[in-house]
Amino acid sequence: MNELNVFVSVGGTATEQQEAFVRAVEDRLRSEGLIPHTVGRNTFSADAPLKTVTALLDECCGTVVIALERKYFPSGIERRGGLKETLLADVRFATPWNQIEAAMAYSRGHPLMIIVEQGICMEGLLEPGYDWYVQSVKPDVSALSTTEFNGVLSSWKQKLSKPQTRPAAKNPAELTIGQLVGSMKAAQLWSFLAAIAALVAGAFALGATLHGG
Burial of residue 169 (CB within 10 Å: 0-12, 13-18, 19+) is exposed
Q: What's the mean pLDDT in 97-103?
A: 96
Q: 0.85 cut: is pTM over it?
A: no
pLDDT, one tens digit per residue, over 45-91 is 889 999 999 999 999 999 999 999 999 999 999 999 999 999 999 99
* % of the chain beyond a pLDDT of 70: 75
Across the chain, what does the average pLDDT equal? 85
Q: How far apart are CA 201 and CA 195, in angstroms?
A: 10
* Options 1.10.3470, 1.20.120, 3.40.50, 3.30.429; CATH of 4-158: 3.40.50
What's the order of all strands across the beta sheet hosting 134-137?
34-37, 4-9, 63-67, 112-117, 134-137
Instruction: For residues 120 and 93, give the distance between their C-alpha atoms in angstroms, rounded to a whole number.
Output: 6
From the number of C-beta atoms within 10 Å of its C-beta (0-12, 13-18, 19+), residue 41 rates as: middle
Q: Which of 92, 56, 59 is nearest to 74 (CA)?
A: 92
Find how far residue 158's CA is from the centre of its chain: 19
Closest CA to 67 of 13, 23, 106, 17: 13
> What is the pLDDT, as a whole number, of residue 179?
52
* Model pLDDT for residues 138-193, shown as the tens digit of each residue: 999 999 999 999 999 999 999 998 765 554 445 555 555 545 545 555 555 556 55
